[in-house]
Amino acid sequence: MDKNPSREFVYQPYFEPPRSCENQQPQRLNKDDKMWNVVRIDRQEVSAWALSVTRRGFDILVSVFALTFFLPVIGAVAVAVRFSSRGPVLFQQQRMGRHGRVFTLYKFRSMRLATEQLGAITVTGDSRITRVGRLLRKYKLDELPQFWNVLRGDMSIVGPRPKLPHHEGLHMPFRPGITGPATLAFRSEEELLSQIPYQHLDAYYDRFVKPRKAEIDLEYMRTATLKTDLGVLWQTAASCISSTPTKFRADLPEFNHTELELDHLAAEIATEPVLSA
């Protein structure tokens, strides 16, 4: 079977499920569930390396090394988060994994307590982010606990970032990752989205950002190898300490509120009940 079938990543208005997913139990998406706007990926569409036992061994090896090497940093960050603002050290949230299964993702908390549920998308200058959180986000230190997710089998080192269930654009046969090509391409995402009016953030993300991320990630996973994974890791490390551009780029259209409002109207019409005569 051709591993590079043509796919069109398009936005289709859909009824959005509730934001709060913290009490949601692991589950599989219904194949016929129309409220999930996702592209379903067949195993034969991705590289053998992406699904291999060898890659899983590589993930475990890198995770054990990272947790051991960064243990002093992890301890220092935990203390800083604990005493910089009220709330737990770790932020836990339900994210979408492979085969549509929901799992608990761990991060160092970077936002003030009781504000993280106000919106799923953060932007540059977001008042919910703590001073310590800004530093953690800048150098991606808030992601360190996800090496534990990798050891648990929830995630891989390289792959599409795990997203909130209603923001996931791929139904994947492979694990989501700590870093990946779309992560590098959208490393300035918060700055980009800060230019979008708050009331249109979700619509703009679903209309443009989600399909583009899915396209970049799938293109990579079709041909992923150990060599390309090592390349992504190297570029990720470099991007954390410098502003040097990576080879992964993403161009998005300018904000157009009229187009998004028409999409919203179409979604409302599609979900209105049909009255019988």
Question: For the residues of 69-101, what is the DSSP string, one character each?
Answer: HTHHHHHHHHHHHHHHSSS-SEEEEEEE-GGG-
Q: What is the mean pLDDT of the chain?
A: 78
Q: What is the pLDDT of residue 107?
A: 96
Mean pLDDT to the nearest integer, 105-111: 94
60 vs 264 pLDDT, higher one: 60
Q: Report yes or no on 186 lying in a domain.
A: yes
Q: Is the pLDDT of residue 15 over 90?
A: no
Most confident of 27-36, 46-55, 157-166: 46-55
Give pLDDT tens digits for 56-102. 999 999 999 999 999 999 999 999 999 988 899 999 999 989 988 99
Q: Report yes or no on 32 lying in a domain.
A: no
CB-side neighbour CA atoms (13 Å) of 240:
16
Mean pLDDT to the nearest integer, 113-140: 74
Place of tokens 């002093």: 72
Where does the pLDDT of residue 236 fall: very low under 50, low under 70, confident under 90, or very high at 90 and above? very high
268 vs 230 pLDDT, higher one: 230
Q: Is the pLDDT of residue 188 over 50?
A: yes
Q: Report yes or no on 113 lying in a domain.
A: yes
Question: Torsion angle, CA of 260/196/165/49, rounded to 10 degrees?
Answer: 110
Q: Report yes or no on 34 lying in a domain.
A: no
Structurally, the chain folds into a number of domains equal to 1
Which of 137, 142, 162 lies closest to 152 in space, CA to CA? 162
Q: What is the pLDDT of residue 266?
A: 53
Which of 51, 152, 134, 36 lies closest to 92 in space, CA to CA? 152
Mean pLDDT to the nearest integer, 108-134: 74
- CB 89, CB 82: distance < 8 Å: yes
Where does the pLDDT of residue 249 fall: very low under 50, low under 70, confident under 90, or very high at 90 and above? confident
Distances (CA, A) of 151 to 57, 60, 66, 196: 10, 6, 11, 37
Q: What single letter denotes the amino acid at residue 12?
A: Q
Which range has the worst mean pLDDT, 10-14, 113-117, 198-202, 245-249?
10-14
Tokens of 247: 């080879």
Q: Report yes or no on 28 lying in a domain.
A: no
- CB 15, CB 269: distance < 8 Å: no
Q: What is the pLDDT of residue 132?
A: 93
Q: Report yes or no on 123 lying in a domain.
A: yes
Q: Report yes or no on 138 lying in a domain.
A: yes
- Could you tell me the pTM of the whole model? 0.75
Q: Report yes or no on 276 lying in a domain.
A: no
* Domain housing 260: 39-270
